[in-house]
Amino acid sequence: MNCDICGKKEATVHLTEIVNEQMTKLNLCEDCAREKGAQMEEHFGLSELLSGLTDMGTAIEPEVAITTTCSNCGLTYQNFRKIGRLGCSECYETFKKELAPLLKRIHGADRHIGKVSLKGGKTIKDTRTLQDLKVQLEKAIQVEEFEEAAKLRDKIRDLEKKTKTREG
Residues 55 and 40 in one domain: no
Is 116 inside a domain boundary?
no
- Burial annotation 90-120 (CB, 10 A radius, 16+ → b, else e): ebeebbeebbebbbeeeeeeeeeeeeeeeee
Is 113 inside a domain boundary?
no
Say which residues have a Cβ less than 8 Å from residue 43's Cβ, sequence separation at least 6.
none
Is 147 inside a domain boundary?
yes
Q: How many domains does the chain have?
A: 3
> What does the mean pLDDT of the chain come to?
78
Residues 103 and 53 in one domain: yes
Mean pLDDT across 121-131 = 80
What is residue 101's predicted lDDT score, i.e. its pLDDT? 81
Residues 39 and 4 in one domain: yes
Is 112 inside a domain boundary?
no
Say which residues have a Cβ less than 8 Å from residue 155's Cβ, sequence separation at least 6.
133
* Predicted TM-score (pTM) of this structure: 0.36
What is residue 102's predicted lDDT score, i.e. its pLDDT? 78
Range of the domain at 90: 49-107
Is 125 inside a domain boundary?
yes
pLDDT in tens, 76-101: 888 887 787 889 999 988 988 888 88
Burial class (CB in 10 A: 0-12, 13-18, 19+), 1: exposed
Q: Which long-range contacts (CB under 8 A, 24 or more apart) does 111-118 make?
A: none
